[in-house]
Structure 1
Amino acid sequence: MIRSVRIVGSAAIVNIVLGIIRLKIFAILLGPAGVGLAGLYTNLMALSSTVSGLGMGSSGVRQVARSNNDELRRSVVLKALWLSGLGLGVLGGGTTYFLRE
């Protein structure tokens, strides 16, 4: 338990540090307007990712955990998650592309 908390915590710290570095680079290269525009693009990307995902992340984890002892069921669940994730990603990317104006 402690080990998993340590791994997740260190990953969060690395993510925060990389976000600060990325924001600093945007500020130096693009100025205040560029930072605002990058923030809008980041929020748009997060919104489209959430809508396109349709809750697959949490339900997928639940299904994989439920099929822990049955290898056949686990392989079916993983294949279904992969294919549905691919389909939803293509659908979300296409929708974002056609609504870009």
Structure 2
Amino acid sequence: MFNIQTHMDFEGQHKAEKLSRFIITLFGIVGLIWGAVIQQFSQTVYILGAGFILASLLTIPPWPIYRRKPLNWQKPRYENQTNSDDSKKKKK
């Protein structure tokens, strides 16, 4: 029915982690400065919370920018039935 991708590649995970750290750090610094200017620590917490929500929305879902370099997996090799019978005989 729907083909929804639910994975990120390794480089996409690295980008998402860097982006979330940058956003949360930026909002934390801005919130700390703004809270000190108006003397309200609650404003610092609100701004940091907004940064956390923004970072979550941008980095948790597997957006297409995080799936640009997928891994090429090898196809599984199944053992031949005759080979497995021969190995059982050899073990006896």
TM-score, normalized by the shorter chain, greater than 0.5: no
The bucket for the TM-score relative to the shorter chain is: 0.3 to 0.5
Higher helix proportion, which one? 1
TM-score normalised by L of structure 2: 0.40
Q: Which structure has the larger Rg over C-alpha atoms?
A: 2
TM-score normalised by L of structure 1: 0.37
Ranked by relative contact order (alpha carbons within 8 Å, sequence separation 6 or more), the top structure is: 2
